[in-house]
Amino acid sequence: MALVLFFLILVADQLTKFIVDAVFLPGESVPVLGSVFHLTYVLNPGAAFGLLEHARWFFILAAMALMVAFFCCRDRLRRQDAFFYYGCVALLAGAVGNLIDRIRLGVVIDFFDFRIWPVFNVADVAIVLGVASMIYAIIFRMKD
């Protein structure tokens, strides 16, 4: 099941980025829900909120380290609470999705634009939901 989740997230991320790249020009924006939600093609050289702009190698190495850590600990992670384990899987899938962009393009393709928040993508959603799931498990479900 974890492998299915991983690949669903990865395929959704890469497919949406492929479509945005094929249909839009960088910087192009199309309103979807009035002034609330737009699709905006952004080439992001940094992380969330534009932090560490142009630190491509840092992000590549960080994502690779996360992959190594996950695979080294996968048996132990499987025995954890499901919210924690699947949160880790979602986090990893998001990191790999953005890693593919960084290796292939040197930047990450972002496109969800709520205008009150920095533009983001499916991988970013997976990372945030994965971390939220892990925090939920740690606070409410995992006992010492």
- Structural domains in the chain (count): 1
Contact indicator for 45, 107 with CB cutoff of 8 Å: yes
Contact indicator for 40, 111 with CB cutoff of 8 Å: yes
Is 101 annotated in the active site? Answer: no
Confidence check: pLDDT of 116 > 90: yes
Q: Which residue has the higher pLDDT, 107 or 52?
A: 107
Range of the domain at 7: 2-141
pLDDT of residue 47: 75
Of the residues 13, 110, 113, 144, only one is catalytic, namely 110
Burial (CB < 10 A; 0-12, 13-18, 19+), residue 2, is middle
Burial (CB < 10 A; 0-12, 13-18, 19+), residue 40, is buried
Residue with tokens 């949160």: 87
The 8-class DSSP code of residue 51 comes to T
Is 124 annotated in the active site? Answer: yes
144 pLDDT band (50/70/90 cuts)?
low
List pLDDT tens digits, range 4-62: 999 999 999 999 999 999 999 999 999 999 999 999 999 998 876 667 777 888 889 99
Q: What is the mean pLDDT of the chain?
A: 93
Sheet holding 108-113, edge to edge: 29-33, 37-44, 108-113
100 pLDDT band (50/70/90 cuts)?
very high
Of the residues 13, 101, 113, 124, only one is catalytic, namely 124
Provide the β-strand partners of residue 31.
Answer: 38
The 8-class DSSP code of residue 47 comes to S
